[in-house]
Amino acid sequence: MTIPEKEIYPRTGDKQTIYLKSVITDPGITVGEYTMYNDFVHDPVLFEKNNVLYHYPINKDKLIIGKFCSIACGAKFLFNSANHTFRSLSTYPFPLFFEEWGLDKKNVTDSWDNKGDIVIGSDVWIGYEAVIMAGVTIGDGAVIGARAVVTKDVLPYTIVGGIPAKPIRKRFSEETISALLALKWWDWPKEKIAQKIEAIQSGCAEQLRENNQ
């Protein structure tokens, strides 16, 4: 099935920015509506190949990205098969080379430690060339700084940066964060979001809450 260009490229004349959901073919990757990816180095349509790394079907791990996320050029998602096991006395992946060592092919995944899926909430901004490691969950509204390496979970509406990434500050007060997590505006119908954009952009959760009555 051919996808209309307008569903891939939301901006007229801009082939560097795409709606990511429209180009995903891997059943192990789920992306929400309006999440965008920009790439000025490579074709952004090749996101699965260039940005989702070591993601092999044998491991059954998943990449789950919410709605209205902004993913900057070069952001990478590194999955479990990039790991080497710490359970062994050696980090060498002997089970991967089962033919060489006469091992059982079914035990290939013993080569690495499986830390689980990568789960990204909604309205998350992932900065330029940031790296998200296997097993990490990033909460709604979080911001990942440029070239950060995220090895641990990130709480909602928290800004993190550095190697390894550490919290810098919360984007809003706890009261505002609680209100936004309760409202979940990203799950509203498109027509309602369009009506409430001014309130969303106001930076005032109370205004959005009032307008939601």
- 73 within 8 A of 39, measured Cβ to Cβ: yes
In whole angstroms, give the CA distance from residue 24 to residue 86.
33
55 is catalytic: no
Burial 82-98 (b: 16+ CB within 10 A, else e): ebebeeeeeeebebbeb
The candidate with the shortest Cα–Cα distance to 33, out of 45, 47, 15, 19, is: 19
Residue tagged active-site, from 42, 62, 84, 166: 84
The candidate with the shortest Cα–Cα distance to 22, out of 11, 12, 35, is: 35
CA distances from 101 to 43, 93, 153 (A): 40, 11, 37
Question: What residues contact 70, with CB distance under 8 A and at least 6 apart?
Answer: 35, 36, 124, 125, 126
Return the SS3 of 168: strand
Place of tokens 């790439």: 39
Q: Which residues are catalytic?
A: 84
